[in-house]
Structure 1
């Protein structure tokens, strides 16, 4: 019985091929990446002549059963979400598509793809990741991939991000965290160490059946551990307070400070009444005048002045 069924299946294939005159495309499938929509296929077996393909699309919101898409193309795919086709792909739509082969006057049968729901079946690509070093910390910025139809936030709301980071060459020490903000600071890292960071967008599997693609590793080095902000504030305050205090003391005690820094020695009473030598050229000297030199020194707590 099994052998009979197998023979019937082979005969039906041969009859179909003879009736159409051309084998149909193989492995026909709809794919979606970042909310685009592609129909892809492989050429028929044992075909040496040039083959052209025509495609059509059916959507859950279409009023007609099928709409033509790519016509007489030699490519093995058709971008159904291309603006030029005017198919108006919707972010929550459900679609299936068909393709057939053409060679001269021969036309194959239509081959249908599987059904695809855009928001459920699209593959979310990797985000764009930028890393900036701030001393011993690393600031990670994440930008969502650009969707062909709609936006990430409109389709899935605010996504979450799975962040993995590790010292270069030590992936076994990788740490993981999940955040919702698109900018996060990684702290408590080793100073003067190069870290590599990868990010993956996480969407609840009830809203999308696929796991988001992980970004390529982005590596950046940390620097020295910066001093705590309060230490800098305290040092600045103390320096400013000392400066103000020094200015105030200088203003209040300026005279004692001047006398202390620039002391003035007075002549002993014995010498205060010594007549000065006149400098007038008309003065007739009766007695010779000699220069007076005073040398101060300190002895037993008293200031004495030597006169010569």
Structure 2
């Protein structure tokens, strides 16, 4: 292997670590004023073990960055990078890197739902990605809180916040029918770290479900008035219907008996001309009792007794003639 000659190739510029959720990239700028083909080598060394030599992380790189996420999250390292061209190379450029301190905590995923005058906020993450696996970042740090910031839309100077260890929170005591905006971030007190804010989510509250006292009093008063008015009205309506039904089906007067009998008999022409029904016409004769004392007078009165039937017959004849005359006049 041909040895490299140091100092002929300009060294990389602005070397830095970009780390988010323990996904770490070492970046740098290419040397200026050099027209040859350049490649790069990146090495690392743990500060916790000063006697250890540098180890290659990546060699013959053509890009101006290197993924160093494979390093232990709990370690403390010195990273170095140099530029190489043919048999020449630049000086090393070093960067101190402590993953747990240097990584940025990304924003969590947030969902907001409006319900019964409150805002239900759910959040999860962020996650650390390592070799295609995802792990909740709070498992690395142990101490972990979420901070929820919320405010009325347009009132950025009046921002309230709530800290919680859980993955959800209910924002209550909000004004109904008002739009609130929400952002959430992770807070790690032991590491003195604050995560990035989530995107701004705005949601309108609904009615809080609490009925004002004056509405309750109004409803109760109205209900009492309805009861006071409706009970007597129902009573008198029932009494009126009862009396009307009784009057129709159970009348208080009695139909005259003679009218019932008259209406129950079939009509007959003779009833209109006869002063009394046929069965009620009376035929009678004079009865004379003769004792032995008056026997001597029998002969004397015999003639008179024979005259009585004749008189009755004449009387009946006269009554019959009168009835016929009366009927003729009515006709």
The answer to whether the superposition gives a TM-score over 0.5 is yes
Matched, 1:138 2:123: no
- For 2:254, the equivalent position in structure 1 comes to 270
Question: For 1:56 and 1:262, how far apart are their aligned partners in 2?
Answer: 111
Q: Which has the higher helix share?
A: 2
The equivalent position to 1:79 in structure 2, one of 62, 67, 71, is 67
Question: For 2:5 and 2:88, how far apart are their aligned partners in 1?
Answer: 11
Question: For 1:117 and 1:64, how far apart are their aligned partners in 2?
Answer: 17
- For 1:188, the equivalent position in structure 2 comes to 173
Question: For 1:39 and 1:47, how far apart are their aligned partners in 2?
Answer: 22
Matched, 1:29 2:10: no
Matched, 1:67 2:49: no
The equivalent position to 1:166 in structure 2, one of 151, 169, 175, is 151
Question: For 1:19 and 1:157, how far apart are their aligned partners in 2?
Answer: 46
Question: For 1:152 and 1:276, how far apart are their aligned partners in 2?
Answer: 112
> What RMSD, in angstroms, separates the aligned Cα atoms of the two structures?
3.5
Matched, 1:107 2:106: no
* Bigger CA radius of gyration: 2
The equivalent position to 1:117 in structure 2, one of 92, 98, 107, is 98
- The alignment partner of 2:20 has SS state of coil
CA contact (8 A) 1:35 1:148 kept: yes
Matched, 1:215 2:202: no
- For 2:286, the equivalent position in structure 1 comes to none
CA contact (8 A) 1:94 1:117 kept: yes
Question: For 1:163 and 1:221, how far apart are their aligned partners in 2?
Answer: 17
CA contact (8 A) 2:5 2:88 kept: no
Question: For 1:203 and 1:101, how far apart are their aligned partners in 2?
Answer: 38
Deviation digits for residues 242-301 of structure 1 (CA, Å, limit 9, x no counterpart): xxxxxxxxxxxxxx99x84982432456328525977xxxx96437xxxxxxxxxxxxxx
Question: For 1:165 and 1:52, how far apart are their aligned partners in 2?
Answer: 49
- Segments of 5+ residues of structure 1 without an aligned counterpart are 1-16, 82-86, 240-255, 288-308
- The alignment partner of 2:207 has SS state of coil
Deviation digits for residues 166-190 of structure 1 (CA, Å, limit 9, x no counterpart): 1111111222222222211112222
Question: For 2:149 and 2:112, how far apart are their aligned partners in 1?
Answer: 13
- For 1:129, the equivalent position in structure 2 comes to 110
Pairwise CA distance, 1:72? 2.1
CA contact (8 A) 2:109 2:124 kept: yes
Task: Flag the 1:59–1:19 CA change in 2: closer, same or farther, 3 A.
Answer: closer
- For 1:225, the equivalent position in structure 2 comes to 208
CA contact (8 A) 1:168 1:195 kept: yes
Task: Flag the 1:192–1:53 CA change in 2: closer, same or farther, 3 A.
Answer: same
Deviation digits for residues 130-186 of structure 1 (CA, Å, limit 9, x no counterpart): 211113211111212111355323222251122221111111122222222221111
Deviation digits for residues 10-69 of structure 1 (CA, Å, limit 9, x no counterpart): xxxxxxx98432112122233422112221212112123442222123346889633322
- Segments of 5+ residues of structure 2 without an aligned counterpart are 224-237, 270-331
TM-score normalized with structure 1 length: 0.64
Task: After TM superposition, list the pairs within 5 Å mapping 1:8-27 onto structure 2.
Answer: 19-27=6-14
Question: For 2:193 and 2:167, how far apart are their aligned partners in 1?
Answer: 21
The equivalent position to 1:154 in structure 2, one of 115, 139, 143, is 139
- The alignment partner of 2:138 has SS state of helix
- The alignment partner of 1:69 has SS state of strand
